[in-house]
Amino acid sequence: MKKNRLYLFGGLLLLAFAGFSFTTFTDSMTPYVSYQRARQGDRIVQVAGALEKGSYSYAEAKESLYFTLKDPKTKENLRVRYKGVKPGNFEDAISIVAIGRYDDKTKEFEAQKLLVKCPSKYQGAEVKTYS
């Protein structure tokens, strides 16, 4: 039947799309990793850390922001370069998540996106005085 063939075609198309979505999904996954793992520079990852005080600067010639992230647990440092507009709340952040890839030539983590977290300040999580 012609109709059955149509269903088959539609089903195959859906299947193909599901496959395409799945591979794209795994390709664009950005796992959270340690700085050590990030330094392998083999894929896009995300790293988190605290902004090292006073490490932020804007380099005009390279059109980039530079700063250092510090892992609160291991006390390791990671130099980050970000080509973009400095996010609001930046200096105030208790934690910054950088998504990108480590560049072995410059020894810098090249961030494509930054997530700035400053929850305690505005969520008032620590204000609990009532019993």
Partner 1 sequence: MSHVSSYLSHLFLPGALALWCAAIFALATMWGYAEALATGQDGAKVFARRSYGFFAFSIVLTAAMMSLLLMMRDFRVEYVYQYSGMDLPTYYQFSAFWAGQKGSFLIWLFWGALLGLLVRRTAGPNEPAIMGVYTLTLMGLVFILVRENPFVMLGKTPVDGVGLNPLLQDNWMVIHPPIMFIGYAASAIPFSFAMASLWRRKYDGWAERAFPWALGGFLVLGTAITMGGYWAYKTLGWGGYWGWDPVENASFIPFLFGTTMIHGLHMERARGRYRRANYVFAFLTYISVLYGTFLTRSGVLADFSVHSFVDLGISGWLTLLLGGFTLLGLFLLILRWKEIPTEPNEDPFLSRGTFMVLATITILVAAVVITAGTSAPLLTKVMSNPSQVGPSFYNRVSLPIAILIALLLSLVPYLSWRGNKFSEIARKMIYPGLFAVAVTIAAAVWKVHDVFHLVFILLATLALATNLQKTVGKYRVSGLRGAGGYLAHVGVGVILLGIIASSGYDESTKVTLTQGVPRKVGDLSFTFQRFIPRHGFEKERMEVLVSRPGQKPFLVYPKLFMNLRTKQTMANPDVRTTLFQDLYVSPIDFDPGQPRLQLAKGASGRIGDMDVKFTGFDLQAQGNAMVAMAAGKPVTIGAKLAVTRGGKTVDLEPLYQLDPASGQVKTPPLLLPGGGALVVSGINASNGAVQLDATGVASPMKLSVDVTRKPLIQLVWFGLYIIILGGGLSMVQRLREVRVRERVAEAKAGRKAA
| Chain positions contacting partner 1, by CB under 8 A | 2, 6, 10, 14, 17, 20-21, 24-25, 27-33, 44, 46, 48, 58, 60, 63, 65, 83-92, 97, 99, 112-113, 115-117, 119, 121-125, 127, 129-131
Q: How many residues does the chain have?
A: 131
Q: Of 58, 120, 48, nearest to 89 (Cα)?
A: 120
- Identify the three-state secondary structure at position 4: helix
Least CB distance from residue 79 to partner 1, whole Å?
18
Residue with Cβ nearer partner 1 (105 or 125) = 125
Residues 9, 57 contacting (CB under 8 angstroms):
no
Least CB distance from residue 60 to partner 1, whole Å?
4
Q: Of 102, 108, 83, 97, nearest to 43 (Cα)?
A: 102
The two tokens of residue 68 are: 């250092």
Residue with Cβ nearer partner 1 (58 or 104) = 58
Least CB distance from residue 77 to partner 1, whole Å?
20
